[in-house]
Amino acid sequence: MLTGSAPRPLAEGPVAVLGAGLMGHAIAAIFAAHGHRVTCLEPDGATRESLAERVDAVIAQLPEGASLRGSVAAVGDVDELDATTALVVEAAPENLDLKRQLLAAVAQCCPVAVIATNTSVYRVGDVAADVEDRARVVGTHWWNPPHLIPLVEVVQGPDTDPAVVYGVIELLYALGKTPVHVKRDTPGFIGNRLQHALWREAMALIDEGVCDARAVDLVVRNSIGLRLSEVGPIENADYVGLDLTRAIHEYVFPALSTAQRPLPVLEAAVAAGHLGAKSGRGFLEWPEGARAATSQRLTDRVKLLTALVHPSSSVE
Ligand SMILES: NC(=O)c1ccc[n+]([C@@H]2O[C@H](COP(=O)([O-])OP(=O)(O)OC[C@H]3O[C@@H](n4cnc5c(N)ncnc54)[C@H](O)[C@@H]3O)[C@@H](O)[C@H]2O)c1
């Protein structure tokens, strides 16, 4: 913290959310549902104008009884943020230079705030590089949709004050989330390292001609995908036996991809303009309406699974 300025208790203070896009508006809604006064910094006028409606839509999906107990406002300029802000959540585009400049500017305008970046993969130390007082910068990696997915990874940067980490974890518990402390500042943290290890292997299988793209998803959805929300890889290794796990690793590891660059099959698709749902074709075909259908399937499944895993979850 700046010399002579006491940090405000996170549970009480105003919150600023930087960027009111896909992640930012929903994170703002969660804080507001728990009574916080939230100000979103959003440079795009149309995004600011649609904010209230989008926040209402998130509140409507929170567990029964949730309502907007706090407030959400939008501003267009960093100078308009409240100097007494206790917590800043940065949810601006995934661009390292942009995030660095934004955090440096916000650190000046909000001198007592804990600053939490929602970067998906950048090291917290890299994002905080231009902030003078890096002890108050931490990672909070929310998952989309943030009001439905319980996990928030709390990433401790090389200079983060441990008291900041524990304060943020406590706050997230109070919001009904499942915070997990990431103790080392590694790209992709825990969740995205695991997820992209799987995606690398998925694309390597296609690249090597082992199977086609549809087969990868069929295998995952009909086997490990069914297990993973109940029994994680570590419990599963214990469950089947570590001697068996060791024997499998000894035989299969040499066959697994160790690619240090995106796989050729991915490079070729991107070069051809096959960018997935948004361009109508990726590994699969995406006709009109298919993207919305997938989004609905995902939301329905996450709601179903979180109700099973967290039957008593509530925003209160
Ligand atoms: N989309 C996901 O599934 C997901 C999941 C977890 C984390 N994240 C991370 O969250 C962050 C935001 O992602 P998103 O999907 O919400 O992006 P988005 O593009 O939907 O929203 C970003 C918003 O930031 C605004 N913005 C642009 N410049 C800004 C500035 N200088 N200051 C403040 N706001 C600015 C944009 O106008 C936009 O509204 C990224 O770092 C992303 O990697 C995304």
Task: Measure 17 CA to ligand 1 centroid, in angstroms.
Answer: 10
Query: What does the alpha-carbon distance between residue 12 and residue 72 come to, in Å, rounded to a whole number?
Result: 15
Contact 51, 211 (CB under 8 A): no
What b/e string do you get for 35-64 counting C-beta neighbours within 10 Å, with b at 16 or more? ebbbbbbbeeeebbeebeebbeebbeebbe
The correct CATH number of 190-263 out of 1.10.260.40, 1.10.1040.10, 3.40.50.1360, 2.40.160.20 is 1.10.1040.10
DSSP 283-302: SSB--TTHHHHHHHHHHHHH
Task: Measure 201 CA to ligand 1 centroid, in angstroms.
Answer: 27
For 173, the enclosing helix (H) or strand (E) is helix 162-174
Task: Measure 45 CA to ligand 1 centroid, in angstroms.
Answer: 15
Fold match between domain 15-182 and domain 190-263: no
Is the CB of 102 within 6 Å of ligand 1? Answer: yes
Task: Measure 117 CA to ligand 1 centroid, in angstroms.
Answer: 11
Kindly list the domain boundaries of the chain, sorted by start residue.
15-182, 190-263, 273-311
Is the CB of 18 within 6 Å of ligand 1? Answer: yes
Q: What is the dihedral of CA 52, 55, 61, 67, to 10 degrees?
A: -80
pTM for the model: 0.93
Contact 20, 45 (CB under 8 A): no
Query: What does the alpha-carbon distance between residue 274 and residue 39 come to, in Å, rounded to a whole number?
Result: 38
Is the CB of 189 within 6 Å of ligand 1? Answer: no
pLDDT of residue 10: 82
Q: Which of 5-9, 54-58, 241-245, 258-262 has the lowest mean pLDDT?
A: 5-9
How many Cβ atoms sit within 10 Å of the Cβ of residue 210?
11
Query: What does the alpha-carbon distance between residue 54 and residue 74 come to, in Å, rounded to a whole number?
Result: 12
Residue nearest to atom 6 of ligand 1 (CA): 143
* Residue whose token pair is 């979850």: 313
Q: In the structure, what pLDDT confidence band is assigned to residue 9 with cuts at 50, 70 and 90? A: low
Residue nearest to atom 27 of ligand 1 (CA): 92
* Three-state SS annotation for 105-150: HHHHHCCCCEEEECCCCCCHHHHCCCCCCHHHEEEEEECCCCCCCC
Q: Which residues contact 58 (CB under 8 A, 6 or more apart)?
A: 25, 26, 29, 30, 147
| 94-141 pLDDT tens trace | 999 999 999 999 999 999 999 999 999 999 999 999 999 999 999 999
pLDDT of residue 8: 54
In ligand 1, which atom is closest to the CA atom of 90?
11
Task: Measure 90 CA to ligand 1 centroid, in angstroms.
Answer: 8
Strands of 178-182's sheet in order across: 71-75, 37-41, 15-18, 87-90, 114-117, 137-142, 151-155, 178-182
Is the CB of 81 within 6 Å of ligand 1? Answer: no
Average pLDDT, the chain: 94
| 249-285 pLDDT tens trace | 999 999 999 999 999 999 999 999 999 999 999 999 9
- At 269, list the tokens: 């698709």
Is the CB of 140 within 6 Å of ligand 1? Answer: no
pLDDT of residue 3: 38
Is the CB of 10 within 6 Å of ligand 1? Answer: no
* Pairing status of strand 178-182 against strand 137-142: unpaired
To the question of domain 15-182 being in CATH 3.40.50.720, the answer is yes
In ligand 1, which atom is closest to the CA atom of 18?
33
Contact 102, 128 (CB under 8 A): no
Q: In the structure, what pLDDT confidence band is assigned to residue 306 with cuts at 50, 70 and 90? A: confident
Residue nearest to atom 36 of ligand 1 (CA): 19
Q: With H, G, I as helix, E, B as strand and everything else as coil, classify residue 40.
A: strand
pLDDT of residue 313: 46
| 51-103 pLDDT tens trace | 999 999 999 988 766 788 899 999 999 999 999 999 999 999 999 999 999 99
